[in-house]
Amino acid sequence: MPVGYGKKIRQAVTEAKKKSAKKYKCPSCSRTAMKRVANGVWQCRKCSSKFASGAFEFSG
Ligand SMILES: [Zn+2]
């Protein structure tokens, strides 16, 4: 395995985790309460609406 390969992967994973930890605006109630509950599944903590979106990033 080339030197530095593992490091690059770790950075990508860190970035993805940062994005998944970010709060996103709910398309249903417009409150910033979207939480990633599973891979590609996001749920609003205010109105409990569930949305399918990116695995680590909500866009909707
Ligand atoms: Zn909501």
Distance, in Å, from the CA atom of 30 to the CA atom of 46, rounded to the nearest integer, reads 10
- Tell how far the Cα of 44 is from the centroid of ligand 1, in angstroms: 5
H or E, element range at 14: helix 5-21
- Topology annotation, domain 5-52: N-terminal domain of TfIIb (2.20.25)
pLDDT per residue as tens digits for the range 33-42: 998 898 889 9
- Residue ranges per structural domain of the chain: 5-52
- Tell how far the Cα of 18 is from the centroid of ligand 1, in angstroms: 21
pTM for the predicted model, two decimal places: 0.63
* The pLDDT value given to residue 53: 84
| Predicted confidence band of residue 26 (pLDDT cuts 50, 70, 90) | very high
Residues 6+ apart with CB under 8 A from 47: 26, 28, 29, 31
- Tell how far the Cα of 27 is from the centroid of ligand 1, in angstroms: 7
Which amino acid, residue 8? Answer: K
Distance, in Å, from the CA atom of 23 to the CA atom of 44, rounded to the nearest integer, reads 10
Distance, in Å, from the CA atom of 46 to the CA atom of 34, rounded to the nearest integer, reads 8
